[in-house]
Amino acid sequence: MSNTSTEALNRSSQRLSHGNRLTPARILLYVLLVLFAIYYLLPLYVMLVNSFKPLEEIRGGDMLALPQAWTLAPWSSAWSTAQIGVQATGLKPYFMNSIAMVIPAVLLSTILGALNGYVLTKWRFRGDGVVFGLLLLSCFIPFQIVLIPMARMLGILGLAGTTSGLVLVHLVYGLGFTTLFFRNYYAAFPTELVRAAQIDGAGFFRIFSRILLPSSGPIIVVSVIWQFTNIWNDFLFGASFADVDSVPMTVALNNLVSSSTGVKEYNVHFAGAVLAALPTLVVYVVSGRYFVRGLMAGAVKG
Amino acid sequence: MKERLQIWVPKLVLGPSFLLILFFVYGFILYTGYLSVSDSRMLPSYGFVGLENYEKLWNLRHWTGSLKNLAIFGILYIVICSVLGLMLAILLDQKIRAEGVLRPIYLYPMALSFIVTGTAWKWFLDPGIGLEQTMHAWGWASFEFDWIKSRTHAIYTVVIAAVWQSSGFVMAMFLAGLRGVDPDIIRAAEIDGASRARIYRRIIIPMMRPVFLSAFVVLAHLAIKSYDLVVALTGGGPGKATELPATFMYSYTFSRNLMGIGAASAIIMLIMIFSIIVPYLYSELRADRQS
């Protein structure tokens, strides 16, 4: 499915002619829709509400009740003092690790993806289909297949346990997606414009920066959001390749939640979970439309 | 000279990405493939042992159990997500005024990390503190929901959490499909006096076949890759009740130091995914070229 179908998604349905009057059937319809909305919102609501409760109140039972005594202590604990692994640093340093990993990985993979998409659509050559096919297929591999050699390779490159190592990993395994996004987008871009510029003597990079780039805004947003969400949410690579000063947020959250020592501070766990979810949630709320477009393009190739 | 250079620039630009993929994806697949027929244990080692690791693998209850769990999880996950997704899409496609509010609510879990989802659901499903306790506090003293602690039922809690996360996405795929149906076809059926339910059953849903296929491919490959959610929700337990191939591979390779067997299990995972993805991509790319 191409981008047009997502445009169609955002258009309101025009065709079903009756409706809109409040018949019993329509009331039932709305009740169902609201029940589903509650189902999807409930876990987030439970996490939020309970992250503001003192621990005794949580143990009391009613997880849906609003806090009787609101407290910010779980949040400050999750952020700066909670025990993660052996250290009582809170999630803050790991949040920063994730930021330091995500930004370069997203930028590099998007830039390379844009250039690849440009070559694969406007400078086609013999065998380009095979190149694209191999890039595309790489999106789907189970990452278990690369864990062992990647661990060794990072060691050989001297990048074991570093943020740079994780950037490399996320760059490599994100290239397929970013290339796909830009390739599909540029395929719809009139090739005649490129040929005309070529005849006028414009070179490869000049055509890219003057002709394609200015109209690439939407697909850049799609690519950045997709990569940001995926890399921020990654757990497997973080758990496999990170070391003390490169552990990302998801791995730290899992350590916090599953640590078996002492009392389980559920309110702190929830505050931590919301902190880990916050960046991607904010991106989703601000630009959900583009997020959906990325999902659809990633879902239905070609 | 400059002309000659121009010919090479595109290939020089694409080259690094292609080499990265060739090495880090396909080269690594071959390497893991070799490890799976080697005597590697804690570290890679290159003594050839034939299919010994595969034989050992299939004799492990741990592995066959995780395949069985994957079958239960995968089938339920795919079926429930598809049914729920289609139903939500149809409900939302009835000129709902609040669609702009509801749609993002159904879809937002997809933006969350599975670790976050797992944390929330682990607690929610924990009989000592979550839903069960809340029902007790509300006065329903006999309410019981302890699947997450049960060897026979824990795998279904993984399904519950995974469906919560992905069903909104399937809804979006179906909604896009529904919006792509030619309105004239529906109008014609309405003029012929067909009821709304009949139009959906006989005309619209059959037209969604490509969406069903895409949803199946996406969900199946997500199911086979599932790792984070199990780690965060159940840690593979109780016992080995929720172990999946992905968690099996990790624990055999990195905790039990049986790298050869771990590599063999990764190869099986790859074969499972490729046997779904490759025919699909092939037909998609071919259709693409023809259009």
Same domain for A44 and A105: no
| Helices vs strands, H then E, count in chain A | 14, 0
Alpha carbons A119 and B218: distance in angstroms, whole number: 27
pLDDT of residue A13: 44
Mean pLDDT by 10 residues, chain B (291 residues): 75 92 95 90 84 91 94 96 94 86 89 91 83 79 80 90 92 89 87 87 89 90 91 85 92 89 94 92 78 60
Evaluate whether residue A204 is within a structural domain.
yes
Q: What's the total number of domains in chain A?
A: 2
DSSP A66: P
Dmax (CA) for chain A in angstroms is 76
B105 vs A6, A40, A123: nearest CB: A40
Mutation for testing the B interface, residue in A31, A63, A179, A300 having most B CBs under 10 Å: A300
Reported as type and span, the H/E element at residue A114 is helix A92-122
Question: Cβ contacts (< 8 Å) between A273 and chain B: which residues?
Answer: 115-116, 119-120
Residue B130 touches chain A, beta carbons under 8 Å: yes
At A220, which CATH number? 1.10.3720.10
Evaluate whether residue A11 is within a structural domain.
no
Q: Do B29 and A61 touch (CB under 8 A)?
A: no
Q: Do B32 and A292 touch (CB under 8 A)?
A: no
Measured in whole angstroms, the distance separating CA A11 from the mean position of its chain's CA atoms is 25
What residues have CB less than 8 Å from A155, skipping those under 6 apart?
none
Same domain for A116 and A49: no
Distance from the A236 Cα atom to the nearest Cα atom in chain B, whole angstroms? 7
Same domain for A210 and A154: yes
pLDDT of residue A16: 43
Same domain for A114 and A22: no
B105 vs A41, A147, A179: nearest CB: A41
Question: Cβ contacts (< 8 Å) between A47 and chain B: which residues?
Answer: 119-120
What residues have CB less than 8 Å from B264, skipping those under 6 apart?
B36, B53, B54, B57
A142 vs B168, B172, B225: nearest CB: B225
Q: Give the chain A residue nearest B223 (alpha carbons).
A: A142
Angle, CA B250 vertex, CA B248 and CA B253 arms, to 5°: 105
Question: Cβ contacts (< 8 Å) between B267 and chain A: which residues?
Answer: 145
Same domain for A162 and A55: no
Q: Do A277 and B113 touch (CB under 8 A)?
A: yes
Evaluate whether residue A7 is within a structural domain.
no
Question: Cβ contacts (< 8 Å) between B289 and chain A: which residues?
Answer: 129
Quick one: angle between helices B114-125 and A249-258, nearest 10? 20
Q: Do B17 and A137 touch (CB under 8 A)?
A: no
Evaluate whether residue A78 is within a structural domain.
no
Q: Do B281 and A172 touch (CB under 8 A)?
A: no
Same domain for A118 and A50: no
Q: Do A273 and B114 touch (CB under 8 A)?
A: no
pLDDT of residue A20: 59
Question: Cβ contacts (< 8 Å) between A266 and chain B: which residues?
Answer: 123, 129
R_g (Cα) of chain A, nearest Å: 24
What is the residue range of A173's domain? 92-299
**Taking the domains of chain B in order of start, what are their residue ranges?**
60-290
Alpha carbons A243 and A80: distance in angstroms, whole number: 19
Same domain for A101 and A39: no
Alpha carbons A55 and A234: distance in angstroms, whole number: 30
Distance from the A254 Cα atom to the nearest Cα atom in chain B, whole angstroms? 7
Evaluate whether residue A86 is within a structural domain.
no
Reported as type and span, the H/E element at residue A100 is helix A92-122
DSSP A246: G
Low-confidence ranges of chain A (pLDDT < 70): 1-21, 260-261, 297-302
Q: Number of A:B CB contacts under 8 A? A: 302
Distance from the B124 Cα atom to the nearest Cα atom in chain A, whole angstroms? 8
Place of tokens 């025919």: B279
Q: Tell me the H-state helices in chain B.
A: 2-21, 28-35, 52-58, 61-92, 99-107, 114-125, 131-137, 154-179, 183-191, 196-199, 205-207, 209-225, 228-233, 245-250, 259-290
Q: Do A19 and B94 touch (CB under 8 A)?
A: yes
Measured in whole angstroms, the distance separating CA A113 from the mean position of its chain's CA atoms is 16
Alpha carbons B248 and B265: distance in angstroms, whole number: 8
Q: Do B96 and A141 touch (CB under 8 A)?
A: no
Alpha carbons B157 and B146: distance in angstroms, whole number: 10
Phi, psi (5° rounding) for residue B235? 65, 20
Alpha carbons A268 and A73: distance in angstroms, whole number: 8
Alpha carbons A161 and B257: distance in angstroms, whole number: 20
Same domain for A289 and A157: yes
Q: Do A296 and B131 touch (CB under 8 A)?
A: no
Q: Give the 3-state secondary structure of residue B9.
A: helix
CATH fold, domain B60-290, is: MetI-like fold (1.10.3720)
pLDDT of residue B1: 57
Residue B174 touches chain A, beta carbons under 8 Å: no
Q: Tell me the H-state helices in A127-243.
A: 128-137, 144-156, 163-187, 191-199, 204-207, 217-233, 236-241
> Is the separation of the CB atoms in A255 and B112 below 8 Å?
no
Quick one: angle between helices B154-179 and B209-225, nearest 10? 150
Question: Cβ contacts (< 8 Å) between A301 and chain B: which residues?
Answer: 281, 284-285
Q: Do A299 and B227 touch (CB under 8 A)?
A: no
Same domain for A132 and A199: yes
Distance from the B91 Cα atom to the nearest Cα atom in chain A, whole angstroms? 7
Question: Cβ contacts (< 8 Å) between A258 and chain B: which residues?
Answer: 232, 235
Evaluate whether residue A80 is within a structural domain.
no
- The interface predicted TM-score of the complex, written ipTM, equals 0.88
Evaluate whether residue A149 is within a structural domain.
yes
Span A164-218, pLDDT tens digits:
999 999 999 999 999 999 998 898 889 999 999 988 888 889 999 999 999 898 8
Residue B248: name the closest of B273, B233, B230 by CA: B230
Same domain for A246 and A129: yes
Same domain for A259 and A163: yes
Q: Do A44 and B44 touch (CB under 8 A)?
A: no
Residue A223: name the closest of A135, A117, A70, A132 by CA: A117
Same domain for A97 and A66: no
Q: Give the chain A residue nearest B249 (alpha carbons).
A: A144
Evaluate whether residue A82 is within a structural domain.
no
pTM beyond 0.90? no
